[in-house]
A and B are shown apart, each in its own frame.
Chain A
Amino acid sequence: MTKSVKSNVNYIRSLIVSSIYHAGSGHPGGCLSCVDIVDYLYRYHMSYSFLDCDNVSRDRFIMSKGHCVPTIYAVFCDMEYISLSELKTLRKINSRLQGHSHRVAFPQVEVSTGSLAQGFSFAIGESLGLKLQGYSNNVYAMIGDGELQEGQIWEGAMFAAHHNLGNLCTIVDYNKMQSDDLNENIIKLEPLQNKWESFGWNVFNIDGHNPNQIREVFSAAMSKENQKPSVVIAHTIKGKGVSYMESIPSWHGSVKLTEEDCRKALKDLECTDNEIEVLMSA
């Protein structure tokens, strides 16, 4: 289908919603909140080639909040690395598009996930491995806010600062919500900036949906003089772009989208009638 002139990220959001609709289950809220950053990193920022995915000297993006891997699949689809018909095999048998990423099934997703915080430590290991071998590439790890409740995150935060991993940039997709409720009603995270600073990290705060702030923060965070690891606290909106999902925790998932849900979401995301039919069709 021909891409319309509207913003890329809304089209990617449409791909996410329709893939989760076809899957019959998935986590739309957190997938929609992190799109802008994931798309920016893959499309404009990282030194990365889909076809050369085992090149050691590549930048790496690690989606540690692995239930949001549909965002990566959708970005890959929009960049024409995978087809729309393959995107619709998400979570289906014999598909490489596993519900949580599996690096053996699909090496380009970089990491296997499904248990929070492990991707973060995996990214730290890659950063250290690259540094020890003299590579100058960077590693970007996206973690969820609820994920910060895992003890392993803080084990890794101490480790990365101790080993001066200036080639590591972590992004917290801070949509303020997790599976059951607001973070602050589950286990509160604030003061979040102070926590990371006291662990020895450079901390940046941005609006995670603002393209200018996204562009500027990664060039600032990854300056070559960096000795410390950096964390970008990206303030985002869960379910961004879909009116009935925005800031409602129950859309964290895993949810089943009805046909009506999906059509309404695609409308909200400014899809044309023709686009909606293509995205809805099996």
Chain B
Amino acid sequence: MLRSPDLVGKSQDSLREAFGKSLILLAEDYPSLVVLDADVAGGTGVHHFRKNFPDRFIQCGIAEQNMISVAAGMAETGLIPIVTTFAVFLLRAYEQVRLSVAYSQMNVKLVGSHCGLDVGPDGGSAQCLEDIAAFRAIPNMSVIVPASPIEINQATRFIIEHKGPIYMRSGRSPLEECLDNSYKFEFGKGKYLSRGSDLTIISCGVCTGRSIQVVKDLKELDINVELINMSTIKPIDQKIIIESAKRTSKVVTVEDHSIIGGLGSAVAEVLSEYHPTPLKRIGVKDTFGESGEPDELACKYGIDQVSIKNTIINWLKNETKG
């Protein structure tokens, strides 16, 4: 049953599904690993773990605040708890994350599914557009936003091996694999996916696949883009941001998250302090989402491939005029 090829995250898997499959493979290597769920195992991908490791699957019921502090207590006894629920429900227990986990430096891993407009039909209440901002603000917390099944497979191993509190975003919609098999996730490092001298795009999560397509579109217009997949938002890779900004002098960030507090803000903090550079943040503009299919929502709110491309072209025109 274990290590069957079906249980490896692959193209067309959602990030939550790839994450759930990765856990099965890792559970054998890490006997201290336990998974906590708040009655949404089918929605977060951990139903695979529940089926294969029922004794290490802790059902907490629909009670997220207790779940987070329980996870911290379990970590105190040497276990490695992975806490899973929808990202918005982790926000419900934000203060428990702050005190029981981060302030206490407990080795608890939070994995939020249902992030961004990618959630789709469940609507604005479930589409978490503030999680990166919220968890990034807490001391001792690291924040990871993988871009594809290949990356989340590797990041899942990392969060288990790493000692300390981490928040990782997964995702709901099926994703085309956008990274090569040779791709290596490195904590705290951005990765160049293309090189160019006209413009830097920094993206994360589901927006990286879209940005790869945008790079191709812009290439046809003779705009050579340097694309960085920034899968660790905290600690942010200052070096690669500054290095690329020096080369291109123009930076665009793209994320399925509010433009307040997320990747765009993290990049802005680095650039404004160390290498002031014109910056365009593409993301959800301080508003909630609504019901609809993920691709329809991305289009309406300006974070699909076409909108990203058009926003960049218009911005470049204005920048050139300036």
Contact = CB atoms under 8 A, between A and B. Distances in A.
Interface of A: 56, 102-104, 110-115, 117-130, 132-133, 135, 151-152, 155-156, 158-159, 162
B69 A128 contact: no
B69 A152 contact: yes
A151 B93 CA distance: 12
Interface residues of B, number: 29
A125 B103 contact: no
15 contacts: A117-B65, A121-B72, A121-B73, A122-B70, A122-B76, A124-B66, A125-B73, A125-B74, A127-B73, A128-B70, A129-B73, A155-B63, A156-B63, A156-B70, A158-B63
A124 B99 contact: no
A54 B121 CA distance: 48
Contacts of A104: 103-105
Q: Is the interface of A mostly helix, strand, loop or mixed?
A: helix
A103 B103 CA distance: 9
A119 B66 CA distance: 10
B78 interface: yes
Given A125-B72, A128-B73, A156-B66, A118 B99 contact: yes
Q: Is the interface of B mostly helix, strand, loop or mixed?
A: helix
B69 A122 contact: yes
A130 B95 CA distance: 25
A118 B73 CA distance: 10
A122 B79 contact: no
Residue among A102, A118, A155 having the largest count of chain B Cβ atoms under 10 Å: A118
A110 B103 CA distance: 13
A128 B74 CA distance: 7
B76 A115 contact: no
Contacts of A117: 65, 69
Contacts of B100: 112, 118, 121-122
A132 B79 contact: yes
A91 B79 CA distance: 32
B270 interface: no
B74 A158 contact: no
B95 A155 contact: no
Contacts of A119: 69
Nearest to A62: B73
Given A111-B104, A114-B99, A159-B63, A121 B69 contact: yes
Interface in B92-121: 95-96, 99-100, 103-105
B61 interface: yes
A102 B99 CA distance: 9
Across chains A and B, which 8 residue pairs bring their CB atoms closest together, nearest first?
A125-B73, A129-B77, A121-B69, A155-B63, A155-B66, A125-B70, A122-B73, A129-B74
A200 to B, nearest CB: 13
Residue among B77, B79, B104 having the largest count of chain A Cβ atoms under 10 Å: B77
B152 interface: no
Residue among B55, B68, B70, B81 having the largest count of chain A Cβ atoms under 10 Å: B70
A159 B79 contact: no
Contacts of A156: 63, 66, 69-70
A131 to B, nearest CB: 9
A185 B73 CA distance: 33
B104 A112 contact: yes
A2 to B, nearest CB: 38
Contacts of B68: 121
Nearest to B95: A115
B104 A159 contact: no
B73 A126 contact: yes
Contacts of A130: 77
A128 B65 contact: no
Nearest to A127: B73
Contact of B74 (A103, A112, A126, A162): A126
Residue among B34, B69, B71, B95 having the largest count of chain A Cβ atoms under 10 Å: B69
B40 interface: no
